[in-house]
Amino acid sequence: MTLTVSFQIVPFTAMLTLNIFAIAMIFAMVRLLRGPSLADRVVALDLVAALAVGVIAVYAILTEQPMLLRAGIVVALVIFVGTVAFAMYLEKRAKP
């Protein structure tokens, strides 16, 4: 008796990954809304944006559209600049 696989691995894995990203985004949004400090909220927002980059990358693989990766790169660069700006803000705020 042979077992035939009736599904392709890339679409299945992509959909599984997108579901995991969705669950992670829910947890990050909870932290964003409940975060006790401003730093917690900014880190949660940074995580949500990084997860969005992951979603863009997985969707680009799923739909075989490599042009979407450019959008992911732009979003990642904006995330990085925002994180650096927030770190500079916290550094200036800490000094008397």
Domain boundaries, the chain: 9-94
Contact 60, 66 (CB under 8 A): yes
Give the tokens for residue 54: 């992951």
pLDDT in tens, 40-61: 898 999 999 999 999 999 999 9
Task: With a cut of 50, list the residues of the chain below it in pLDDT.
Answer: none
Q: If 0-12 CB within 10 Å is exposed, 13-18 middle and 19+ buried, where does residue 68 land?
A: middle
